[in-house]
């Protein structure tokens, strides 16, 4: 027992992980490196499960109170229970830590859980096992058991186990920089960035060993690698400007061809062809976009600004072309002016699926334009103004005549105000009425 405690004290000083020795039958603590409250350090149900499992398991194992907190467990040669923990296996937010402190009757402010990875906790338990039994044990052999008592999700356990195994077997993966370069070449339409021939197959095959281990059988490894490459290439091509439907169609075709490949050489050749073809299609799409006429670009601008105010000058400025040149080109190709086309598109958008009778619409627009026109009122207002000036220069008494003309001018201004929806005109109407009122007051004093 003294030697066991010596080992545990050393482990605690090296790792800061709390170490305990329990009576397997009663659960009573025989030794602890912690000076805190020992009655609430582990969930009672989890402790009972741990003790039962330890009696049936000769090697150390891990148990988990949640997906964040875990323990290492070892049945000692004296049938005592050695428990390392609790340990934080990943970062936890303050709300979780507060709940944990409340559950275990700990002070949140003074609580200090040690953070260790699953591999580190497994290594510690493997070391203790080797020290007590003399039998060598790798950390990957420290298994997590079932998931019945707050265990980590099976996928997380397998992930950690695989990570440790990958490290042992020196499994290499393509760097993120290389993956981005793969993506960039397709997205930018860089054709013939990859080549393949059977003589150089060795170097190309080596690339497939740098993507992790996706399958034990070599041909399956290459098949899965190519599936991943096709999916990545399809995404890159879409970002490069290839129509999504076309990109996905190419993806389907290459997956169908992959199914018929029976050798690694054919798969690698298909991989190179696929990447170059995607890049070639992206390049063609970019070239088509660069050749789009100013008329099409103007239409695109109108289509994306249906709910925004703009003038012909704004479109010409966006396209970096003279508005006179744009107007001539647009009229020649479309048969109407740019702004008329814009109004037509706005009306079509508002109508949606409603069928448009253009003749009826033209009639309605003409009727509205006639009703909204203030041209006649302006002509009459100018006439009244001329008559007013003539009356002022007359040698005959003209007070009553001037008063009548002012009334007529006021009537025309009111009509303009009721017709016009333009803010500037409305402002001018208010100003005109104010001045006219001043004139009327002066006219009252003229005979």
- pLDDT for 173 equals 61
Asked if the domains at 2-167 and 294-356 fall in one CATH topology, the answer is no
Of the candidates 442, 343, 356, 353, which has an alpha carbon nearest to the alpha carbon of residue 398?
442
**Nearest Cα to Cα of residue 119 among 138, 144, 136, 139:** 139
Q: Which helix (DSSP H) or strand (DSSP E) does residue 403 occupy? A: helix 399-419
Measured CA distances, 107 to 40, 98, 101, 142, 328 (Å): 12, 9, 6, 32, 80
Confirm if 319 and 294 have CB atoms less than 8 A apart: yes
Residue 20 backbone phi and psi in degrees, to 5? -140, 155
Six-digit token string for 70: 């875990």
Question: pTM higher than 0.75, yes or no?
Answer: no
CATH of 2-167, one of 3.40.30.10, 1.10.3720.10, 1.20.58.220, 3.30.450.240: 3.30.450.240
* Partners of residue 114 on adjacent β-strands: 87
The pLDDT value given to residue 29: 82
- Residue of 275, 319, 267 whose CA lies nearest to 295: 319
What's the average pLDDT block by block, 10 residues per block, for the chain (447 residues)? 84 89 81 67 79 83 83 82 87 83 81 84 87 80 52 50 54 68 88 54 48 74 88 92 92 93 87 91 82 80 89 90 88 89 87 74 76 86 91 83 91 88 87 90 81
Residue spans of the domains in the chain: they are 2-167, 176-290, 294-356, 372-443
Q: Which residues contact 364 (CB under 8 A, 6 or more apart)?
A: none
Which CATH fold would you assign to the domain 294-356? Arc Repressor Mutant, subunit A (1.10.10)
Assigned token pair, 261: 């490949």
């Amino acid at each position: 027992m003294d030697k066991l405690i010596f080992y545990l004290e050393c482990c605690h000083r090296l790792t800061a992980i709390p170490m305990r020795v329990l009576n397997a039958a009663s659960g009573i603590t025989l030794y602890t490196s912690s000076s805190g409250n020992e009655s609430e350090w582990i969930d009672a149900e989890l402790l009972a499960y741990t003790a039962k499992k330890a009696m049936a398991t000769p090697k150390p194992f891990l148990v988990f109170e949640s997906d964040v907190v875990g323990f290492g467990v070892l049945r000692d040669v004296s049938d005592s229970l050695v428990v390392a923990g609790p340990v934080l296996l990943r970062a936890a937010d303050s709300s979780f830590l507060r709940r944990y402190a409340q559950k275990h009757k700990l002070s949140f402010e003074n609580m200090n859980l040690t953070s260790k990875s699953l591999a580190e906790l497994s290594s510690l338990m493997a070391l203790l096992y080797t020290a007590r039994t003399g039998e060598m044990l790798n950390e990957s052999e420290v298994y997590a058991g079932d998931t019945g008592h707050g265990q980590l999700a099976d996928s997380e356990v397998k992930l950690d186990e695989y990570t440790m195994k990958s490290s042992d077997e020196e499994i290499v993966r393509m760097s993120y920089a290389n993956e981005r370069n793969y993506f960039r070449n397709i997205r930018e339409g860089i054709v013939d960035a990859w080549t393949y021939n059977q003589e150089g197959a060795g170097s190309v095959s080596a690339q497939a060993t740098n993507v992790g281990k996706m399958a034990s059988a070599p041909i399956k490894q290459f098949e899965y690698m190519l599936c991943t490459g096709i999916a990545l290439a399809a995404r890159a091509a879409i970002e490069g400007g290839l129509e999504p439907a076309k990109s996905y169609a190419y993806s389907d075709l290459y997956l169908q061809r992959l199914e018929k490949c029976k050798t690694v050489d054919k798969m690698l050749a298909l991989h190179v062809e696929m990447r170059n073809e995607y890049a070639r299609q992206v390049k063609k799409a970019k070239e088509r976009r660069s050749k789009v006429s100013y008329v099409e670009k103007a239409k695109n601008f109108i289509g994306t600004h249906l709910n925004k105010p703009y003038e012909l000058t704004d479109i010409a400025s966006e396209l970096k072309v003279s508005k006179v040149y744009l107007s001539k080109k647009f009229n020649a190709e479309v048969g109407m002016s740019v702004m008329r086309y814009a109004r037509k598109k706005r009306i079509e958008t508002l109508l949606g699926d409603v069928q448009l009778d253009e003749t009826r619409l033209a009639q309605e627009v003409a009727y509205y334009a006639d009703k909204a026109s203030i041209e006649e009122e302006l002509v009459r207002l100018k006439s009244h103004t001329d008559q007013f000036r003539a009356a002022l220069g007359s040698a005959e008494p003209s007070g009553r005549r001037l008063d009548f003309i002012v009334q007529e001018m006021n009537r025309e201004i009111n009509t303009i105000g009721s017709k016009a929806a333009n803010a500037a005109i409305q402002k001018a109407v208010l100003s005109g009425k104010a001045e006219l009122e001043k004139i009327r007051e002066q006219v009252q004093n003229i005979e």
